[in-house]
């Protein structure tokens, strides 16, 4: 099975929001993308390698940044690049072995880009809601961020 032909069946709104959250976490904290995520229509969670829990000020800042991108009406596009180019630019550890030689990169305007096989909206405005962090927790060097879009 070629992952490019059979995208994961995530809710496109929440999955695109996950990309924006990952880009924001990496821009603000240089922590990389989530190493684990569970994406659902009503609420979702992402796990990051981290050294502490977030402060209330940091949570507010992340929410503001994510909502700014959502409201920017940024285009969500895809392109295919060679595996060699993808390995040079991205962490491919979460891609399945059968991903093949042409790696699909999802771009959210000029804000974020990463390899992905999931489904997405065509523009961030289609997320049509407000990003909210429900809660965070920190245990065993893992920061868990739970979120929803209302």
Q: Is residue 60 part of a domain?
A: yes
Residue 9 has pLDDT above 70, yes or no: no
Residue 81's alpha-carbon distances to 71, 94, 102, 103, 116, in angstroms, are 28, 17, 5, 5, 12
Q: Is residue 3 part of a domain?
A: no
- Residue 65's domain is classified under what CATH number? 3.30.980.10
Residue 71 has pLDDT above 90, yes or no: yes
Q: How many folded domains does the chain comprise?
A: 1
Please state the separation of Cα 104 from the chain's center in Å: 14
85-128 pLDDT, tens digit per residue, is 999 999 888 777 778 899 999 999 999 999 998 899 999 999 99
More confident residue, 25 or 7: 25
Q: Is residue 142 part of a domain?
A: yes
Question: Are the CB atoms for 127 and 70 separated by under 8 Å?
Answer: yes
Q: Is residue 4 part of a domain?
A: no
Which pLDDT value is given to residue 66?
Answer: 98
Q: Is residue 20 part of a domain?
A: yes
pTM of the model: 0.90
- Average pLDDT rounded to a whole number, residues 68-89: 96
Q: Is residue 145 part of a domain?
A: yes
Looking at the chain, the whole-number percentage of residues with pLDDT higher than 70 is 93
Residues spanned by the domain of 135: 12-149
Q: What angle is formed at CA 23 by the lines to CA 36 and CA 3, rounded to 5 degrees?
A: 55
- Average pLDDT rounded to a whole number, residues 18-27: 97
What are the structure tokens assigned to 130, written together? 């407000």
């Amino acid at each position: 099975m070629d992952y490019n032909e059979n995208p994961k069946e995530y809710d496109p709104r929440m999955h695109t929001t996950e990309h924006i959250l990952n880009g924001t976490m990496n821009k603000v904290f240089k922590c990389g993308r989530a190493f684990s995520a569970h994406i659902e229509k009503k609420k979702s969670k992402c796990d990051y390698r981290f050294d502490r829990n977030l402060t209330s000020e940091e949570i507010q800042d992340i929410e503001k940044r994510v909502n700014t991108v959502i409201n920017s009406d940024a285009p969500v596009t895809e392109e295919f690049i060679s595996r060699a180019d993808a390995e040079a630019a991205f962490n491919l550890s979460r891609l399945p072995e059968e991903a093949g030689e042409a790696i699909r990169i999802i771009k959210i305007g000029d804000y974020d880009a990463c390899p992905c096989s999931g489904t997405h909206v065509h523009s961030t405005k289609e997320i049509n809601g407000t990003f909210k962090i429900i809660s965070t927790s920190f245990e065993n060097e893992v920061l868990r961020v739970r979120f929803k879009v209302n």
